[in-house]
Structure 1
Amino acid sequence: MWTLSGFSDEISPDFAEQCALVAELGLTHLELRSAWGTNVLDLDADQLARASALLTQHDLAVSSIGSPIGKIGIGDDFGPHLERARHAVEVAHHFGAPYVRIFSFFVPAGVDPDSVRDEVLTRMSALARVAADGDVVLLHENEKEIYGDIPRRCLDVVESVGSPYLRLAWDAANFVQVGVRPFTDGYAQLRPHLAYVQIKDALLASGEVVPAGRGDGEVAETMRALHADGFDGFFSLEPHLSQTHALGGFSGPALFTEAWRAFTDLLRAEHIPFA
């Protein structure tokens, strides 16, 4: 039974409105990236308590902390960022979330990503040690313009660090936007390290983000293969159907619902059970 989740801040800045629609759609989990217009790692004690109360009220749990850890330049000071990662683990504990989503650092335009590999791996290893200390699993997301943007370098990160506390999140749209055919070019090599799936699709010709199954992200093929080999985990809607920016995106209630409907229709067509 696959478990659906979603970046609920794509619904509304207001966390109460986020929770209400997530529950209305029948989801049992959400991915917490921001609430009341504030990044999850910047919520104060009162906001954290309010968020927990709303989750309880709507009988919702948190599948992952959608943190911005690793979304700094590879040349930026890492010390403060490592402290922020420790706080991300604390926030995961607060919400009972098993995962924290992270990235592998922006590479300046015109710089060969492979030339900064050693520094990336040093930093990712340090993050993995923080996760191990806190017994939380980090999910590396393949994002545009970071070191781990293509399957080869995603694999390099997770295999070179070699920690059970660092796994991969799969984002088909992000792969498409860097010219990768996700299932064809990446599934076989990344599947052993895959722990979490983000649901977003895109068009290869333009990079435009579209609902699942309507782009070139080979979503149906990927879902079919995951189902066939027994994957059992979270699938987190990240529609980005209205706005997108460096730290996230926005859809609004109607487009978030459209994204949910597109993905659940795909699952029903493939006879894949979900909750």
Structure 2
Amino acid sequence: MRTLAGIGDEAGPSAAEQIAAVTGLGWTAIELRTVDGTALADLDDAAFDAVAAAVAGHGLDVVCVDSRIGDWSSEITDDFSRDLDELRVLARRCALLGTRYVRVMSYPNAGLPPAEWERRVRRRLRELADRAGQADLVLLHENCAGWAGADAERMLTLVGDGLGLLFDTGNGVAYGYSGVDLLAEIVAHVRHVHVKDGVPGPVWTLPGDGAADVAGALALLAAHGYTGALSLEPHLSLRPHERDGVPGDASGFHAAGIALEALLAACPAGA
């Protein structure tokens, strides 16, 4: 059986709501991004310690933490020291949470010529990956915002010590490409998976009800021996990049989890 997890704030803002949603599905793992609307790296020590204690107290493994490094809220010309500071904080907190994985992206452009954009992205991610490796962490680049967000060849040039790939099943719907076709090119380097589904717009749906071919992605992962976690990120209520202030929804999260389990049960490759 694969590890099933969920990005907790998709189910609710508080740690209690996030934990209840994951354990309510009978799952034993969680992915952390924000708590009470605050990024994990920005929580004060007391608040973070309370989250870590609650997660451990319910016997949950933390499969990944989602940073803001290089994501849709940033640009390549932003102050790099902010990202180094976030990684420094997360390195300490990941050690306490028992996880090595930190989600990153590859910096949206800010009007730079393509070659200069690439040069800066690659330099930043290499320095971040080197520092992550020194802290026994692995950065996971997601197929989302930034220089390598939708390009398999670019993603593969980033892979190395301290940096692997995170595949999100639904991001192709949002960015206008076939997620399964992209996955076929990068599957050997995928270390973690986010599960969502939707139709162009995008409008997000339960896994299996949209145009992302989640079932095909799951079958391809299984056929290539993927043994990492599948982490639910349904976007049915909370959509962080839209900054709309709508909190996560436990009922939608639960329905999406049941739909994911049904897809796995029907997966011909025995996922």
Q: So what's the TM-score if we normalise by structure 1?
A: 0.90
DSSP 3-state at the match of 2:147: coil
1:259 corresponds in structure 2 to: 256
Are residue 187 (structure 1) and residue 186 (structure 2) matched?
A: no
1:238 corresponds in structure 2 to: 233
- AA of the residue aligned to 1:174: N
- Shift in Å, 1:42: 0.8
- Shift in Å, 1:128: 0.5
- Shift in Å, 1:30: 0.4
What is the CA–CA distance in structure 1 between the aligned matches of 2:143 and 2:220, rounded to whole Å?
Answer: 20
What is the CA–CA distance in structure 2 between the aligned matches of 1:198 and 1:114, rounded to whole Å?
Answer: 30
Aligned length: 267
- Shift in Å, 1:80: 2.8
User: What are the equivalent positions in structure 2 for 1:32-111 lying under 5 Å apart?
Assistant: 32-71=32-71, 72-108=74-110
What is the CA–CA distance in structure 2 between the aligned matches of 1:230 and 1:116, rounded to whole Å?
Answer: 35
User: What are the equivalent positions in structure 2 for 1:104-253 lying under 5 Å apart?
Assistant: 104-108=106-110, 116-144=117-145, 146-152=146-152, 155-159=153-157, 161-184=158-181, 186-204=182-200, 206-246=201-241, 250-253=247-250
- Shift in Å, 1:164: 2.8
**CA offsets, 1:13-45, max 9 Å, x none?**
111121122112111110011112221001111
* More displaced 10-residue stretch of structure 1: 250-259 or 26-35: 250-259
**RMSD over aligned Cα atoms:** 2.0
**CA offsets, 1:108-166, max 9 Å, x none?**
3x76655511111001101101111101111111114x2122133xx42442x442310
What is the CA–CA distance in structure 2 between the aligned matches of 1:162 and 1:173, rounded to whole Å?
Answer: 22
- Shift in Å, 1:107: 1.7
Extract unaligned runs of 5+ from structure 2. none
* Structure 1 pair 183–250 and aligned structure 2 pair: CA distance change class (3 A): farther
Q: So what's the TM-score if we normalise by structure 2?
A: 0.91
**CA offsets, 1:185-213, max 9 Å, x none?**
x1221112111110011213x22121211
DSSP 3-state at the match of 1:177: helix
